[in-house]
A and B are shown apart, each in its own frame.
Chain A
Amino acid sequence: MTAVAAAGSAVLLASSLFLGYSTLRVKNAVIRNTRSLADLVRFIRSDITYFLTPLDGLFAAFADENLEKEGFSAVLRANGLAAALDSGTLVLSPGTEKIMREFAAAIGKGLRDGEINLCDCTVERLTAEEERLREELEKRRDVYRFVPPLGALFLILCLM
């Protein structure tokens, strides 16, 4: 019985550690993805400023290791930005998703100056969102790290 309890406690503790670690990983991925999307918008802005390449050409030319790894780039190249956001290949914060959906709906519908303004505005919003997410993560890092194992320990103690 003691061995079973010990094993159960170990499993519970390991699960709680894993939960904390996973949450941190997801939160980091959300920040990383927001940064990658801001890079995408910066790339679009830069190209529109100098070359006016159509969007499909821009999406084909954009290379980002993170977006590539997540499978977002493949959908982006094949079906465009709106479809890539729909594909769910990226974990995004609700704020980032809203900004990008608005961007996807508006990009390509205006002339050069308007598109450059749109990109600038989007980059600004994404940067602010990334900053907010980063601050939030810093504030809660210890919560994600310690609360699940402490909760597990409390549960174990209660059950003992």
Chain B
Amino acid sequence: MLPVRLAKAAVKTVALRSGRINEIRIRTGRPLFVTMGNESVSCGVICRPDETAYVLDKLCGGSMYSHGDTIREGFVSAPGGIRAGICGRAVTRDGRIDAVTDVTSIMIRIPQRAPGAADSLFDLLGSRGFCDNALVYSLPGVGKTTLLRELICLLASGGSARRVAVVDTRFELGAGIEDEPLNADFLLGYPRGKGIEIATRTMAPQFIVCDEIASSDDARAVEEAASSGVRIIASIHAGTIDEARASPFASRLTDNGFFTVFAGLSRDGDGRYSAELTADP
């Protein structure tokens, strides 16, 4: 996916420091950066415009038009669960983004599996009879999606596998678990609110898992699904539980006691992350 020159620089950087790459940041005219654990490390090479274009072309599989909708939303999903955030020059019409051209920054996030990461949350939900709606919160890049992915595996597998519908707007939640024998349905690329509505109406799930409640429509759809008896597990960008409760989109849900289990994620200096669980009575 990377041009040879950038790939060599990244490999060299990783070889000098032990660890795994979580993110690769390509910015035209600026140094190549990799993120390992919590640390951003410069690889010491300046990215050329043709290299940025090459990476974008590879991410799109040579068919940029098939990623038009997500490019307008600021990301591209590539095979293998790789998601790349992109930005450049937006072409707008009537206040909405019509196209993005001259892409100058690409941030490739490499999906991680973290077996065991969701065990404590799963156990807590289980101890309460799987009757709670749960909200996972953390700052961006800490591991909400990874935790949700592992939780999907725990909920939807085993002898008493629950029916799980995964509303995977950004093609991330299902990454790396395609081959798992799960009792789960994946709604890939659906707008979150619509996906939740469709899953509730047509797939009869016990749980709906979705990433990042980010609009009042999402919050409304979550509420409607829950009123149908479906349990919701979602995530939100927030540094603390108070921030999560005060979030403009989730506050309506937290204020009325909709979410009763909260999992706050944080990373230590070595990049290992821990979950702080809070359960309302």
> Which residue numbers of A lie inside 8 Å of B, CB to CB?
48, 52-56, 80, 108-112, 114-115
Contact = CB atoms under 8 A, between A and B. Distances in A.
Contacts of A53: 63, 66
Interface in B55-77: 57, 60-66, 68, 71
B99 interface: yes
Contacts of A110: 64-65
A115 B65 contact: yes
B71 A111 contact: yes
Contacts of B61: 54-56
B62 A111 contact: no
Nearest to A81: B62
Nearest to A109: B64
A111 B63 contact: no
Interface string B269-280: 000000000000
Contacts, number: 36
Contacts of A111: 64-65, 68, 71, 99
Given A109-B57, A111-B99, A52 B68 contact: yes
Nearest to A111: B68
Contacts of A56: 61-63
Of residues B57, B65, B66, B71, which shows the largest number of chain A Cβ atoms within 10 Å of its Cβ?
B65
Given A109-B57, A111-B99, A54 B63 contact: yes
Interface residues of B, number: 11
Contacts of B66: 52-54
A19 to B, nearest CB: 43
Contacts of B57: 108-109
Counting chain A CB atoms within 10 Å of each CB, which of B60, B63, B71 scores highest? B63
B73 to A, nearest CB: 13
A54 B76 CA distance: 13
A116 to B, nearest CB: 9
10 contacts: A53-B66, A54-B62, A54-B63, A56-B61, A56-B62, A111-B65, A111-B68, A112-B65, A112-B68, A115-B65
Contacts of A48: 65
Nearest to B72: A111
A48 B64 CA distance: 11
B68 A108 contact: no
A110 B65 CA distance: 6
B171 to A, nearest CB: 14
Interface in B99-121: 99
A108 B60 contact: yes
B65 A52 contact: yes
B99 A108 contact: no
Q: Which 3 A-B pairs have the closest CB atoms?
A: A54-B63, A111-B68, A52-B66
A114 B60 CA distance: 16
A80 B57 CA distance: 14
A85 B57 CA distance: 20
Given A108-B65, A111-B65, 7 more contacts: A52-B65, A52-B66, A55-B63, A108-B64, A109-B64, A111-B64, A111-B99
Contacts of B65: 48, 52, 108, 110-112, 114-115
Contacts of A80: 62
A114 B57 CA distance: 16
B76 to A, nearest CB: 12
A54 B63 CA distance: 5
A50 to B, nearest CB: 12
Contacts of B63: 53-56, 108
A93 B71 CA distance: 38
Contacts of B60: 108
Contacts of B68: 52, 111-112
B183 to A, nearest CB: 29
